[in-house]
Amino acid sequence: MGISRDSRHKHRKTGGRRNIHQKKRKYEMGRPAAMTKLGAQRVRPVRCRGGNMKYRALRLDSGNYAWGSENCAKKVRILDVVYNATSNELVRTKTLLKNTIVQIDAQPFKQWYLKKYGVDLGKKKGKAAKDEPAEVEKKSRHVIFKQKYRESKQKLEPGIEEQFQSGRILAAISSRPGQSGRADGYILEGDELTFYKRKLEKKKKT
């Protein structure tokens, strides 16, 4: 039997059984979950009611991620699945769903930040930074002053700056990969970042 979204098979509120007086209808149809996995892109079109199309992502490895506080979005690689509120099984199998917490590649955001503010976010501070030879890019005086002015007004959250050191940023998927065929989302910031960091630390201890 197919997947149906009707309520004829359910008990009454009082607990009694219902008499089924009609068959299943096409408009009550449901489909199996996509259970999108992390891997080389594989998307299938699905024709739906009214001739509309859904895009069933079976595997995805990248998406558009927004950095809200900086008003910047980049297409980046999804590196790993780290947390899912529903089940740890979905983390183990690297399943991409809405609101799954993933690690994304920090490089595109790092390059953008360097161009806008003239600050290399991944740079190690202290002795290690002195040992590395610095590559100086030629900039006009106007550009240097503009970047310095921007940086004076800029305040970066320590939690995000820390993540740039490792080259991986925590982000949440906000699209529905099984419906839209995309795994787009946003970088975690503020209280939300603190909340999920605490969850991940708790998970490590167990």
pLDDT at 62: 95
pLDDT at 148: 75
Q: How far apart are CA 50 and CA 199, in angstroms?
A: 43
Three-state DSSP state, 77: strand
- Full pLDDT tens readout for the chain, 206 residues: 689 999 999 999 999 999 999 999 999 999 999 999 999 999 999 999 999 999 999 999 999 999 998 899 999 999 999 999 999 999 999 999 999 999 999 999 999 988 888 888 877 665 444 555 556 677 777 777 677 766 766 777 888 888 988 899 999 999 999 999 999 999 999 999 999 999 999 888 77
pLDDT at 119: 81
Give CA 186 to chain center in angstroms: 6
Q: How far apart are CA 9 and CA 28, in angstroms?
A: 12
Token pair listed for 25 = 């209808």
Token pair listed for 106 = 């920090």
Alpha carbon separation from 5 to 15, 62, 71, 96 (Å, rounded): 20, 32, 40, 24
pLDDT at 73: 95
